[in-house]
Amino acid sequence: MKITAVIMAGGRGERFWPKSRNNRPKQFLSLTSDGETMIQKTVKRLSPLVDAQDVFIVTNAAYTDLVCDQLPDVPKENILAEPCARNTAPCIAFAAAVINRKYDDAVMLVLPSDHLIGYEDIYISTLKKAVSIAEEDKNLVTIGITPTYPETGYGYINFGKEAGAGYEVERFVEKPDLPTAKQYLASGKYLWNSGMFVWKISSIMDNLRMLMPDIYEGAVRIGEAFGTSEFTEVLVKEFSAFRSESVDFGIMEKADNIYTIPGSFGWDDVGSWLAVERINETDDAKNYIDGDVIAIDSERTTVCGGKRLIAAIGVEDVIIVDTDDVLLVCSKNNTQDVKKVIAQLKEQGRTDLV
């Protein structure tokens, strides 16, 4: 069966401000020294399994030009522009309906656009296992990440009996506190919920019809209009009427036949500026330095330079990000507070800097 991929690229990702902005969020940035953007890497690493012709990008209408520029091999009609943000369930329903219209049934990989994978061959073989399960019956498969430490910032997947190449899912759980996360890790029965899914179009459409019939019906009408002159009009009308809902809550936590494949492929969700030193090579003093920088006596510091010289002297555990109009100097302990700055700027009406 044909394998297609749906890349979810509508996120606004404030955590990489000031490099990420409303008009260029994280998935369209390069955070690695090779210069490739996150979404370019996402499509490229799929190439052993999915042809660019079969890749679909669901994104905000404001970003379609960025997608076109960065992914010239993806057909323009595969760039699916959401007229507004409605979380993952409407996004997936929209994409599934369009693919259904284009190919009838097919396998559909659903993947975030802004994660990194360290071991791409393992990633591909993990996806192949997921495809093998998804091709049977009405199975819905999620890729779980084998946890390496008791992270409290992710949801977890509790799995049970072995089933083919994977496991039956017992339940999905919310972000745990630290003692609970430690128990999960010790049990060996929990995986990080990475937001990657594999299923047939027919499976997800059936589940949408049963569990989210309103969204199913709107998606079907969008699918029927795909390729016609009414498409944009129908899309705006139907999509805007969707309620905002995650596929986790709307489908995965309620459906039967949920399976998971444990993945150990160097997954990184690149969740904040702290990730940059993790996903790049650092120097002897554990600094990651990009750009025109003179660093003296500095340690464990991340410098993302812009057009000017940066002199970093005696600084430790700091993140320095220079752009044309904003400079960020942030302690590694405070990367979550970048959002507070954005909030202040919005309050002040300084939308050009957000």
Minimum distance from CB of 22 to a copy of itself (Å)? 15
What end-to-end distance do the CA atoms of the chain give, in Å? 44
Task: Give Cβ neighbours of residue 320 (< 8 Å, ≥ 6 apart).
Answer: 301, 302, 303, 304, 310, 312, 327, 328, 329, 330
Minimum distance from CB of 28 to a copy of itself (Å)? 21
Minimum distance from CB of 256 to a copy of itself (Å)? 47
How far is C-alpha 303 from the geometric centre of its chain's CA atoms? 25
The residue (of 1 and 329) whose beta carbon lies closer to a copy of itself is: 329
The residue (of 203 and 302) whose beta carbon lies closer to a copy of itself is: 302
The residue (of 270 and 338) whose beta carbon lies closer to a copy of itself is: 338
Q: How many residues does the chain have?
A: 354
Phi/psi-derived region of residue 28, left when phi > 0, alpha when psi is between -120 and 50, beta in every other case: alpha
Residue 190: phi, psi to the nearest 5? -125, 145
261/130 Cα distance (integer angstroms):
6
Give the number of C-alpha atoms closer than 13 A to the C-alpha of residue 91, restricted to the C-beta side: 27
Minimum distance from CB of 25 to a copy of itself (Å)? 18
Contact of 25 with 12, CB cutoff 8 Å: yes
Minimum distance from CB of 305 to a copy of itself (Å)? 9
The residue (of 44 and 350) whose beta carbon lies closer to a copy of itself is: 350
The residue (of 212 and 338) whose beta carbon lies closer to a copy of itself is: 338
**DSSP H or E stretch at residue 125:** helix 120-134
82/79 Cα distance (integer angstroms):
10
Structure tokens at 109: 């990989």
Which residue ranges make up the site for a copy of itself (CB under 8 A)?
Answer: 18, 294, 296-297, 308-316, 318, 320, 322-331, 333-334, 337-338, 340-341, 344-345, 350, 353
The residue (of 161 and 296) whose beta carbon lies closer to a copy of itself is: 296
Distances from the Cα of 147 to the Cα of 113, 151, 152, 185, 254, angstroms: 21, 8, 11, 7, 24
The residue (of 77 and 337) whose beta carbon lies closer to a copy of itself is: 337
Sign of CA dihedral 212, 171, 169, 120: positive
Contact of 317 with 301, CB cutoff 8 Å: yes
The residue (of 59 and 301) whose beta carbon lies closer to a copy of itself is: 301
The residue (of 93 and 354) whose beta carbon lies closer to a copy of itself is: 354
- Helices assigned H by DSSP within 71-119: 88-103
Give me the amino acid identity at 210.
M
240/82 Cα distance (integer angstroms):
9
Minimum distance from CB of 290 to a copy of itself (Å)? 14
CB atoms within 10 A of CB 202: 15
Minimum distance from CB of 338 to a copy of itself (Å)? 7
The residue (of 98 and 318) whose beta carbon lies closer to a copy of itself is: 318
Minimum distance from CB of 322 to a copy of itself (Å)? 6
Minimum distance from CB of 265 to a copy of itself (Å)? 33
Minimum distance from CB of 152 to a copy of itself (Å)? 20
